[in-house]
Structures are given as structure tokens and as C-alpha cells.
Amino acid sequence: MGAETPKYAAVAIFTQLPSVFWVNQILIQIHFMLSLSVFLRDFFERLGRFSK
């Protein structure tokens, strides 16, 4: 029984990992897209002011 427990723990961890990984990836992508949109908006505002 003692030898089986780590195996079950490892299986449990491996089944949990993908969901955590995907949530993390989604959060990173959302953060990146928000930063990118803010940067682009700022950039185009400056470009607009510069071209006037």
C-alpha cells in the first residue's frame, strides 16, 4: 500500500496540471492582448497628434 500512494498522488497531480496550465495560458494571453491594445491605442494617439 505504501508504494501505491505516491503513484496515485502523481496521477492526481498530472490530471490536475493541464487545467492549471490552460488557465494560466489564458490569463497570460488576456493580459498580453490588453497590454497590446493599450499600447496600440497610445501609439496611434501619438501618431495622430504628430501628423497634425
Q: How high is the pLDDT of residue 31?
A: 95
Angle at alpha carbon of residue 5, lines to 3 and 6, rounded to 5°: 85
Q: Output the CA angle 14-7-23, nearest 5 degrees.
A: 10
Burial call 8-32: b when 16+ CB within 10 Å, e when fewer: eeeeeeeeeeeeeeeeeeeeeeeee
- Helix, strand, coil content of the chain in percent (nearest 5): 90, 0, 10
Q: What is the pLDDT of residue 23?
A: 87
Residue 1 in this model has a pLDDT that exceeds 60: no
- pLDDT tens-digit readout, 3-50: 678 888 888 877 888 888 888 999 999 999 999 999 999 999 999 998
Residue 45: predicted pLDDT = 95
Q: What pLDDT shows up at residue 16?
A: 81
Of residues 2 and 32, more confidence is placed in: 32
Amino acid in position 39: F
